[in-house]
Protein backbone atom coordinates (compact mmCIF):
# COMPACT_ATOMS: atom_id res chain seq x y z
CA UNK A 1 0.00 0.00 0.00
CA UNK A 2 1.24 3.49 -0.82
CA UNK A 3 2.21 5.93 1.88
CA UNK A 4 -0.51 8.54 2.37
CA UNK A 5 0.16 12.10 3.45
CA UNK A 6 -1.81 15.29 3.89
CA UNK A 7 0.21 18.43 3.31
CA UNK A 8 -0.30 21.83 4.90
CA UNK A 9 2.15 24.38 3.58
CA UNK A 10 2.71 28.02 2.88
CA UNK A 11 2.61 27.64 -0.87
CA UNK A 12 2.61 25.51 -4.00
CA UNK A 13 6.41 25.51 -4.37
CA UNK A 14 6.76 24.15 -0.83
CA UNK A 15 4.34 21.36 -1.75
CA UNK A 16 6.36 20.49 -4.85
CA UNK A 17 9.62 20.31 -2.88
CA UNK A 18 8.11 18.13 -0.14
CA UNK A 19 6.53 15.85 -2.72
CA UNK A 20 9.94 15.41 -4.38
CA UNK A 21 11.56 14.64 -1.02
CA UNK A 22 8.93 11.99 -0.25
CA UNK A 23 9.30 10.37 -3.68
CA UNK A 24 13.07 10.23 -3.17
CA UNK A 25 12.83 8.99 0.41
CA UNK A 26 10.42 6.19 -0.45
CA UNK A 27 12.07 5.60 -3.84
CA UNK A 28 8.58 5.41 -5.27
CA UNK A 29 6.10 7.60 -7.06
CA UNK A 30 3.26 5.61 -5.46
CA UNK A 31 2.76 8.17 -2.73
CA UNK A 32 -0.68 9.59 -2.14
CA UNK A 33 -0.37 13.25 -1.27
CA UNK A 34 -3.44 15.30 -0.37
CA UNK A 35 -2.83 19.02 -0.72
CA UNK A 36 -4.82 20.28 2.27
CA UNK A 37 -3.56 23.88 2.34
CA UNK A 38 -3.27 25.54 -0.12
CA UNK A 39 -5.69 23.53 -2.20
CA UNK A 40 -4.61 22.45 -5.67
CA UNK A 41 -6.21 20.72 -8.58
CA UNK A 42 -4.56 18.80 -11.41
CA UNK A 43 -4.28 21.89 -13.59
CA UNK A 44 -3.75 24.45 -10.81
CA UNK A 45 -6.47 26.53 -12.52
CA UNK A 46 -7.72 27.64 -9.11
CA UNK A 47 -4.25 28.58 -7.92
CA UNK A 48 -4.96 32.25 -7.25
CA UNK A 49 -8.09 31.49 -5.25
CA UNK A 50 -6.35 28.98 -3.01
CA UNK A 51 -2.94 30.58 -2.61
CA UNK A 52 -1.33 30.03 0.77
CA UNK A 53 0.79 31.91 3.27
CA UNK A 54 2.01 31.45 6.84
CA UNK A 55 -1.18 32.89 8.32
CA UNK A 56 -3.29 30.35 6.41
CA UNK A 57 -1.14 27.51 7.75
CA UNK A 58 -1.99 28.56 11.31
CA UNK A 59 -5.67 29.03 10.48
CA UNK A 60 -5.89 25.61 8.86
CA UNK A 61 -4.24 23.94 11.85
CA UNK A 62 -6.96 25.42 14.08
CA UNK A 63 -9.76 24.24 11.80
CA UNK A 64 -12.17 21.33 11.88
CA UNK A 65 -10.77 20.25 8.49
CA UNK A 66 -7.38 19.71 10.14
CA UNK A 67 -8.87 17.45 12.80
CA UNK A 68 -11.01 15.62 10.27
CA UNK A 69 -7.93 14.76 8.19
CA UNK A 70 -6.87 12.27 10.86
CA UNK A 71 -10.05 10.25 10.42
CA UNK A 72 -9.24 9.42 6.79
CA UNK A 73 -7.04 6.43 7.62
CA UNK A 74 -5.17 5.20 10.64
CA UNK A 75 -1.89 5.34 8.71
CA UNK A 76 -2.49 8.86 7.37
CA UNK A 77 0.30 11.34 8.09
CA UNK A 78 0.00 15.12 8.04
CA UNK A 79 3.03 17.24 7.19
CA UNK A 80 2.95 20.83 8.42
CA UNK A 81 5.44 23.03 6.55
CA UNK A 82 6.29 26.55 7.60
CA UNK A 83 9.24 28.90 7.07
CA UNK A 84 10.43 30.89 10.06
CA UNK A 85 11.30 33.95 7.98
CA UNK A 86 7.85 35.47 8.61
CA UNK A 87 8.78 35.86 12.29
CA UNK A 88 11.17 38.64 11.34
CA UNK A 89 8.85 40.70 9.10
CA UNK A 90 6.65 43.69 9.80
CA UNK A 91 3.53 41.59 9.14
CA UNK A 92 4.17 39.28 12.09
CA UNK A 93 2.26 40.05 15.29
CA UNK A 94 3.73 38.57 18.47
CA UNK A 95 0.38 39.23 20.17
CA UNK A 96 -1.46 37.01 17.68
CA UNK A 97 1.26 34.37 17.41
CA UNK A 98 3.46 34.38 20.55
CA UNK A 99 6.38 32.38 19.19
CA UNK A 100 9.65 32.75 21.08
CA UNK A 101 12.44 33.93 18.74
CA UNK A 102 15.00 35.34 21.20
CA UNK A 103 16.31 34.32 24.60
CA UNK A 104 16.05 36.45 27.75
CA UNK A 105 19.21 38.35 26.73
CA UNK A 106 17.55 39.22 23.40
CA UNK A 107 19.87 36.90 21.48
CA UNK A 108 18.22 35.13 18.57
CA UNK A 109 17.55 31.46 19.28
CA UNK A 110 19.70 28.79 17.66
CA UNK A 111 18.23 26.95 14.69
CA UNK A 112 17.30 23.94 16.86
CA UNK A 113 15.69 26.12 19.52
CA UNK A 114 13.77 28.17 16.94
CA UNK A 115 12.41 25.00 15.35
CA UNK A 116 11.40 23.71 18.79
CA UNK A 117 9.72 27.04 19.55
CA UNK A 118 7.66 26.70 16.35
CA UNK A 119 6.75 23.09 17.16
CA UNK A 120 5.72 24.10 20.69
CA UNK A 121 3.49 26.83 19.25
CA UNK A 122 1.86 24.38 16.83
CA UNK A 123 1.19 21.96 19.69
CA UNK A 124 -0.56 24.76 21.60
CA UNK A 125 -2.49 25.74 18.46
CA UNK A 126 -3.54 22.17 17.70
CA UNK A 127 -4.27 21.39 21.33
CA UNK A 128 -1.99 19.31 23.50
CA UNK A 129 -4.49 16.46 23.98
CA UNK A 130 -5.17 16.20 20.23
CA UNK A 131 -1.44 16.34 19.50
CA UNK A 132 -0.67 13.59 22.02
CA UNK A 133 -3.31 11.40 20.40
CA UNK A 134 -1.86 11.95 16.89
CA UNK A 135 1.80 12.83 17.48
CA UNK A 136 2.97 9.79 15.49
CA UNK A 137 0.97 11.08 12.50
CA UNK A 138 2.13 14.70 12.55
CA UNK A 139 5.38 15.64 10.83
CA UNK A 140 6.75 19.16 11.17
CA UNK A 141 8.78 20.55 8.27
CA UNK A 142 10.10 23.82 9.68
CA UNK A 143 12.43 25.77 7.38
CA UNK A 144 14.78 28.25 9.06
CA UNK A 145 16.12 31.32 7.23
CA UNK A 146 14.66 30.15 3.95
The full DSSP string for 56-68 is HHHHHHTSHHHHH
0.85 exceeded by the pTM? yes
- Smallest CA-to-CA distance from 144 within 91, 87, 96 is with 87
pLDDT averaged over 10-residue windows placed end to end, the chain, 146 residues: 85 91 90 85 53 85 94 88 86 83 94 96 96 96 86
Compute the distance between CA of residue 131 and CA of residue 139 in angstroms, rounded to an integer.
11
* Residue ranges covered by each domain of the chain: 4-143
Compute the distance between CA of residue 76 and CA of residue 134 in angstroms, rounded to an integer.
10
Amino acid sequence: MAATFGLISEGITDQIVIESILVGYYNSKNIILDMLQPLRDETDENLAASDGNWHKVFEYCKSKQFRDAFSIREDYYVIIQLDTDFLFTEHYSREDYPIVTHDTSNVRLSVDDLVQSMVDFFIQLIGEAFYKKHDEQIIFAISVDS
